[in-house]
Chains A and B, each alone.
Chain A
Amino acid sequence: MSDLPSQGRPAKPRVGLFVTCLVDLMRPSVGFAAVKLLEDAGCIVDVPVQTCCGQPAYNSGDRGTTRDLAMQVIEAFQGYDYVVAPSGSCAGTIKTHYPELFEEDPNWRAKADALAARTYELTSFLVDVLGVTAVDASFEGAVTYHDSCSGLRELGVKAQPRRLLASVEGLTLVEMKDSDVCCGFGGTFAVKYSDISGAIVDAKARNIEDAQAPTLLAGDLGCLMNMAGKLTRDGKPIQVRHVAEVLAGMTDEPPIGVAKAATVK
């Protein structure tokens, strides 16, 4: 793994992991995979106490709650060289939307700008900031990769996960049709407009299936839960995982939506 300090970057950067509420609650193994990737790349990782970035409130029009939560995150993550999230959606909220929340408050605006400048999505941080070109992991078989919308269009995350996946021993990437088209999750959209969301994820599931890869990866747990939930509902035996799990070589946990059969008594 390359660990060449680039200009202006500390040799052992201190990274505050924004674990994201979904990973915290639903799939902590993704968080530990992120920790391993960051530590392997020479970072010192810390996890300050946290809840949520506020995106559900922001997208529901509740600016007051969003601002409260943004201030909470800004304060919790002061003092780290970088803030990294295993999610383009949450990183995008901090990076592109927090500054918009404080347009009329120069004091907090400056703090939000400072946090935004230090915040990255995981694969983008590894590749774009740390210059990582390869990971120490193996995974047998073909995978297909879904580009989650916020990471792709707010943060430009597209080549980075593919670049790292290319270094995983035994793994081949098969591109699905329309990998950059929304899976229909959209946070509360999936519940509020479930009929439309259901139709969009149906089209996505067909593209996933047509790729004929036994494993589906993506960088956002919300999208992954939506797609995994659709695939298991339709009885499709496609394993769904967060890209960090594969990159960290931590695939012992069963895929999303699958029981830990061995431990069931």
Chain B
Amino acid sequence: MTVHSTSPQFKQNAARALNDSQLQKALGNVKQGFIDKRQAAADKLPEFEALRDAARDIKNHTLEHLDLYLEAYEEKVKASGGHVHFARNADEARDIILRICRDAGAKTVTKGKSMISEEIGINHHLEAKGIRPVETDLGEYIIQLRNELPSHIIAPAVHLNATQVEEDFRRVHTHLDAKRDLSEPVQLLTEARAVLRERFLAADVGITGANFLVAETGTSIIVTNEGNGDLTQILPKTHIVLASIEKLVPTLEDASQLLRVLARSATGQEMSVYTTFSTGPRRSADADGPENYHVVILDNGRSSMLGTSFEEMLRCIRCGACMNHCPVYHAVGGHAYGWVYPGPMGAVLTPSLIGVDKAGHLPNASTFCGRCESVCPVRIPLPKLMRHWREREFERHLTPATVRSGLRLWGFFARRPALYRLATRAAMGALAFAGRQRGRFSWLPMSKGWTKYRDFPAPQGETFQARWKRERQGGRA
């Protein structure tokens, strides 16, 4: 079992999001920033497009030989004194992590930002077993206080604004002066930093994600902007890296190539503020570092994507550019998608991980505008993969009956041009006549979806093919 999904209620979630003025304000504030910054970063780097090709090729190569690179990576981690655990699903991953925490006698666990940890719901699991997990990325910390999922893969609290965060801090940080001033964002940041500093020092285990796992060296790499990842993995005695199988890359050189497109695509930075490399536990000559180093590698359905058209999705490096550029994400935000991964990448990945029967709305809720694909640093053809999901749904008769019967009727006529011309000629003539006064309809039978928000323009009357036949083929041919 993974975390609970409300993806089947996508439409209701979306309607709620559209009517949430607080959320709409937050979405409005952020969407332009990411886009402009990415564009500026891409414009400054003449080889950016070539780097995207290289990034795609590195990931494709790795996925083709994933078994070999996983083995090589495991060998290197062992050689450096660390442990590798393979988890087939969320349950196994949770059990492994709990066991390591118990072995360490852990009461408090600090966490760097990790979408995989959201996917397996590790926080609730640890809490239920009496271990306190503390998110240390500011955005993750805030949503942990609110008991929410991230609404964005790199900006988890992007759906919130400062006054909401202030309310949460006042509600939770009751040991602080109730009259303190928290009106400025920097005051919120300072308070979070002070609270988290205590947690860092008290933590027995630190859990981080990984942006890359390097087979050549057995190194895990994380990028952060707050430095919380470093404190999470260096201060406690035990460091657990939690990552999914597609994080593998062959070499440090490959990781460097991917890092060059990652931050630029995500936030428009050339590099994130911190890029941290970890290889095994602390060695005798090291100034700091954990005594125990564990890597938990999660599959959770990904290996079944290999060899299918959805393998391309495993190239994803989680930059968030697709959702930053998505008009649907801009309209409804991340929570409407109903599970861990929102936006276009979520619309492709979520059905693979929790089933298209549950997540079927996600790949359908796209205009196929293609803006996601146009910015993806590893060139994942997201609209094409969403269409593949729609094909799977159609094959499995999961497509709504009204859509299927509509398609069947339309297809019947579209396959028979002569009948089509007769039928459309009559229909358009009638529709034009009905709309002749206003030139448009504010209501039409069975068209509520359209006319709820816009008029339906009336047709001109005679179809093009009828008029062409009359003027060019009948009259003058």
List the interface of chain A (C-beta within 8 A of B): 19, 21, 23-29, 31-32, 47, 49-52, 54, 56-63, 65, 68-69, 72, 100, 149-150, 153-154, 180-182, 184-203, 225-226, 228-230, 232-233, 253-254, 256-260, 263-264
Contacts and interface: CB of A to CB of B under 8 A. Distances in A.
B29 interface: no
A59 B424 contact: no
B413 A51 contact: yes
Given A57-B407, A195-B14, A199-B331, A150 B464 contact: no
Given A25-B459, A49-B417, A181-B371, A190 B439 contact: no
B414 A61 contact: no
B72 to A, nearest CB: 34
Contacts of B369: 149, 153, 181-182, 186
Interface stretch (B185-193, B219-227, B279-287, B388-396): B388-396
Given A57-B411, A150-B370, A260-B439, A198 B420 contact: no
B439 A60 contact: no
A250 to B, nearest CB: 12
Contacts of A69: 411, 414-415
B450 A194 contact: yes
Interface string B434-473: 0111111010000111101111111110111101100010
B428 interface: yes
A219 B179 CA distance: 59
B81 interface: no
A100 B373 CA distance: 17
Contact of A198 (B399, B454, B462): B454
3 nearest A-B pairs in the assembled complex, by CB-CB distance:
A186-B367, A198-B453, A229-B454
Nearest to A65: B411
A152 B163 CA distance: 40
A264 B389 CA distance: 48
Contacts of B139: none
Contacts of B436: 259-260, 263-264
Interface residues of B, number: 70
Contact of A60 (B14, B394, B442, B455): B394
A193 B428 contact: no
Contacts of A61: 387, 389-395, 399
B365 A198 contact: no
Nearest to B408: A65
A229 B417 contact: no
Contact of B456 (A54, A154, A225): A225
Given A25-B428, A47-B468, A260-B439, A60 B407 contact: yes
Contact of A257 (B418, B440, B447): B440
B380 to A, nearest CB: 14
Given A182-B367, A195-B14, 8 more contacts: A31-B464, A57-B410, A60-B399, A153-B374, A182-B371, A194-B449, A196-B18, A199-B331
Interface string B266-294: 00000000000000000000000000000
A221 B369 CA distance: 15
Contact of A193 (B14, B427, B457, B458): B14
A184 B413 CA distance: 27
Contacts of B255: none
B328 interface: yes
B440 A184 contact: no
A194 B453 contact: yes
B393 A185 contact: no
A196 B464 contact: no
A198 B327 contact: no
B30 to A, nearest CB: 14
A115 to B, nearest CB: 17
Contacts of B465: 19, 24, 47, 49-50
Contacts of A23: 464
Contacts of A186: 366-369
A263 B437 CA distance: 10
B332 interface: yes
Contacts of A26: 428, 457, 459-460
A54 B410 CA distance: 10
B450 A190 contact: yes
Given A28-B462, A232-B455, A233-B455, A193 B387 contact: no
B361 to A, nearest CB: 8
8 contacts: A28-B463, A51-B420, A181-B371, A182-B367, A201-B453, A233-B453, A257-B458, A258-B440
A58 B330 CA distance: 25
A189 B456 contact: no
B464 A19 contact: yes
Contact of A72 (B15, B368, B370, B415): B415
A177 to B, nearest CB: 10
